[in-house]
Structure 1
Amino acid sequence: MHMLPVVSGIMSLRWESLRSEDVGAWAALVDAAEIVDKTGERYDAGDLAEQLGDSLVDVEGGTRAVWDGDVLVAVGLLRCGPSGDPSHRMFFEGVAHPAYRRRGVGRELTRWALQTAPRLSEARYPGRPVELHVDVSERNPGKAALFEHEGYTPQRWFFVMRRDLADDVPDVAIPEGIRVTGFDFAYDAEARDVRNESFADNWGSARQTEESWRQGYTGTRSFRPDLSFLAIADAQVAAILLTHYFEADTVATGHREAWISTIGTLRAWRKRGVAGALMRATLTEAKTQGFSRVMLVVDTDNPTGALSLYRAAGFVEEHKHSRYVREF
């Protein structure tokens, strides 16, 4: 049972940088917000500690924790991008306790981010243009209104898609010349190269460095190599599928959800059924391990035809979110 805090006025709140010891309170705040927002995203203290340890996050200068006494009521976090070319795409993540919304807390966090992002960007990528991105669920219209008021515009839309594993996983032929194998860290660097090449034309994508790849993809505590697969052609990686699992989802819902975070195929192997073969491997293994469903997020205007691939594999749209952007 979540008890609502007794709400104080905004002037009495304490604003400071996040600290490592705050992750438990932060996880409780995320849980309280999810009850209302229903975005499907949940994180435990370990997941959030990992975020604070990311080298793309300036904990002292790029985070804000808002406290009412000993209760954490809002958090803001700015994440730098791994590249400043052609522009530096930064991300703002913010959450406020439902009891503190429409009281000016979210507005102050949003304005803090607008003031802080250019300074952080200049320190990392001097002279580069800056874009500040934020994801807004269609289930949270108040958040959309807030960011529109602060000068952000929606520039892209994404479907959150679900594939229930109670249904059978149909056979998919593996294309000639391809070998599908479980993820092997011996191919980690090559997998990153495939990701960078295959996402080069995707809107909002940046090349991943060795460090950002490790911290955001295959080196995270949520990464599941046993549910991730590679397509090998002539001893080289032709396509990748990476999967993550967040235990916080299971604790909250009782369901085990596997999240496909990345599917990428080299141009020479597209339209030949390679991604479909990787998808079948993940769905089959997740079903074998007792997962209830597999989730993913896809750009509704993805240029590679990914949306059609996912629908053919049995995924259905669950809800949608928008990417809001403010340029400097």
Structure 2
Amino acid sequence: MYEEPTSLTWRPLTRGDAKVSADLLNAIETVDEIGENYTEEDTLQELIDPYADLERGSLAAFDGDVMVGYMKVRYKPSAEEVHRVFLDGGVHPDHRRRGVGTVLVEAGVAAAKVLHALHHPTRKLVVDVHKGEHIAGVADLVGSRGFTPVRYYQRMEHPLDGALGDAAIPDGLRVEPWSEQNDEDFRLIRNESYEDHWGAVPMPVDLWQNKITNQTFQPSVSFLLRDVANGAPVGMLVTMCWEADTVATGVRDAHFMLIGTLRGYRNRGAAGALIGHALRAAADQGYHRASLSVDSANPFGAFGIFEKAGFTPKMRYVRWALEA
């Protein structure tokens, strides 16, 4: 059983912790340099996640009024054979190597077991941690608690100040921007196109609204592909942008959060054309760079599609997993 360092105050996170959470994450960014900066609104969005049970599934450490560490677990809305609970957290640089991280990881695994028993007790439980490969101490910490690396993800970037290549949409398809009227088409295409993506489960409406169409969503750089013959949606690309990152770096980044095409429309140039269209739209709207994240073991050639579109690898992330 873990022991909480007695010099700190420990309690679950609440929705009132948005400001101190943002302060902690921004302090972490000064050392870890993963390119993530936060506003109070950003962290509030994570605290109101409908699949984050803060009372049962979070813990924060405070030194006076300053949050110096936290963990939060998020269970899945659905699960088939395996229920993958996501464990996130961090420790302030000034409080590392004092046992805080160990407490948080062990508390996170314990909380994952509680939420798993409540929501998907007949499934196999796996706890996932996703962190930048370069962050000091992470491998030792999670490795010592039984986590092993199971997947790698690559952040890729594309500057928007040069040639952007061809953006022609293949014959038989047409592209349209996001609107309130086609939002549900975007969600349904995401769910169907991600059925064969490792670890993915369908996003219900409440999670879609929390994670996708929130304050970081960029509707004017988000596009839907339709089949001209029958009007059916067949592909989508969703773009997000974090204002805190722009303020911190001076770089306005169009992050392609979701890219998907239905199985029957793959290998026809649809994804590449959708990416090219979005790159041009982002450049025309004053973005300096586009970015995305890709599973290094993606079986559908996504890495090659992104390279062909002009994206280059910049940072690798590790997905650590524990069969609990």
Describe how 1:178-327 pairs up with structure 2 within 5 A: 178-217=173-212, 219-233=213-227, 234-327=230-323
1:223/1:244 contact within 8 Å kept: yes
1:243/1:260 contact within 8 Å kept: yes
Secondary structure of the 1:186 match is coil
Task: Return the letter of the residue paired with 2:305.
Answer: L
Provide the residue aligned with 1:5 in structure 2. Answer: none
Describe how 1:10-49 pairs up with structure 2 within 5 A: 10-49=5-44
2:56/2:114 contact within 8 Å kept: no
Secondary structure of the 1:10 match is coil
Superposition TM-score, scaled by structure 1 size = 0.94
Shift of 1:84: 2.0
Runs of 4+ displaced beyond 3 Å? none
C-alpha distance in structure 1 between counterparts of 2:177 and 2:237, whole Å: 10
Provide the residue aligned with 1:52 in structure 2. Answer: 47
C-alpha distance in structure 2 between counterparts of 1:31 and 1:209, whole Å: 30
Task: Return the letter of the residue paired with 1:42.
Answer: N
Would the alpha carbon gap of residues 250 and 288 (structure 1) be closer, same or farther in structure 2, given more than 3 Å must change? same
Provide the residue aligned with 2:95 in structure 1. Answer: 100
Confirm whether residue 112 of structure 1 aligns to residue 104 of structure 2.
no
Describe how 1:128-167 pairs up with structure 2 within 5 A: 128-167=123-162
1:33/1:98 contact within 8 Å kept: yes
1:136/1:144 contact within 8 Å kept: no
2:157/2:290 contact within 8 Å kept: yes
Shift of 1:306: 0.6
C-alpha distance in structure 2 between counterparts of 1:181 and 1:173, whole Å: 13
- Give per-residue Cα distances to partners, 1:217-258, cap 9 Å, x unaligned: 2x3111111110011112111100001011110111111111
1:256/1:293 contact within 8 Å kept: yes
Shift of 1:187: 2.1
Secondary structure of the 1:324 match is strand
- Give per-residue Cα distances to partners, 1:79-121, cap 9 Å, x unaligned: 1112121221111110110111111000000000111111111
1:239/1:275 contact within 8 Å kept: yes
C-alpha distance in structure 1 between counterparts of 2:129 and 2:254, whole Å: 24
- Give per-residue Cα distances to partners, 1:156-184, cap 9 Å, x unaligned: 00100110111121123211110011112
1:122/1:128 contact within 8 Å kept: no
Superposition TM-score, scaled by structure 2 size = 0.95
Cα RMSD for the two superposed structures: 1.3
Shift of 1:216: 1.8
Provide the residue aligned with 1:86 in structure 2. Answer: 81
2:58/2:72 contact within 8 Å kept: yes
C-alpha distance in structure 1 between counterparts of 2:173 and 2:41, whole Å: 37
Shift of 1:301: 1.1
Moved more, 78-87 or 261-270: 78-87
C-alpha distance in structure 2 between counterparts of 1:161 and 1:278, whole Å: 17
Secondary structure of the 1:61 match is helix
1:162/1:318 contact within 8 Å kept: yes
C-alpha distance in structure 1 between counterparts of 2:287 and 2:187, whole Å: 27
- Give per-residue Cα distances to partners, 1:34-58, cap 9 Å, x unaligned: 1110111222110110111111011
Shift of 1:323: 0.3
Unmatched tracts of structure 2, length 5 or more:
none
C-alpha distance in structure 2 between counterparts of 1:183 and 1:303, whole Å: 28
Secondary structure of the 2:248 match is helix
Secondary structure of the 1:83 match is coil
